[in-house]
C-alpha cells in the first residue's frame, strides 16, 4: 500500500502535497450481524497504525538520503 500512496502523491504537477490514509478491516463472509460502531473503530485503529508506518517510512527515507 505504501507504493500506492507514493504514486498517488507523485501524480500531480500542483505546488502542494497530496496524500490519503485508509484503514482496512476484514469481516468474514459468515460473520453474522456486525456492530457498525465497533467496525468503524477497528478501521480507525488500522488507519492510524498505517499512518504511523507511513510516517516512519518517510522519516527513514529522509534520514537515509
> Is residue 20 included in any domain, yes or no?
no
> Is residue 23 included in any domain, yes or no?
no
> Is residue 55 included in any domain, yes or no?
yes
3-state helix, strand, coil in the chain (%, to 5): 60, 0, 40
> Is residue 47 included in any domain, yes or no?
yes
Contact 42, 31 (CB under 8 A): no
Grid cell 492510524 is found at 48
> Is residue 26 included in any domain, yes or no?
no
Which residue range forms the structural domain that includes residue 63? Answer: 33-65
pTM, full prediction:
0.60
Grid cell 501524480 is found at 11
CA-closest candidate to residue 52, choices 19, 16, 11, 21: 21
pLDDT tens-place string over residues 19-59: 778 888 999 888 889 899 999 999 999 999 988 987 888 77
> Is residue 10 included in any domain, yes or no?
no
> Is residue 15 included in any domain, yes or no?
no
For the chain, what is the domain count?
A: 1
For 51, other C-beta atoms within 10 Å of its C-beta total 14
Amino acid at each position: 500500500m505504501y507504493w500506492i500512496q507514493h504514486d498517488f502523491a507523485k501524480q500531480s504537477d500542483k505546488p502542494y502535497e497530496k496524500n490519503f490514509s485508509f484503514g482496512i478491516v476484514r469481516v468474514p463472509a459468515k460473520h453474522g450481524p456486525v456492530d457498525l460502531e465497533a467496525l468503524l473503530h477497528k478501521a480507525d485503529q488500522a488507519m492510524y497504525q498505517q499512518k504511523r508506518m507511513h510516517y516512519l517510512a518517510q522519516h527513514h527515507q529522509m534520514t537515509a538520503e
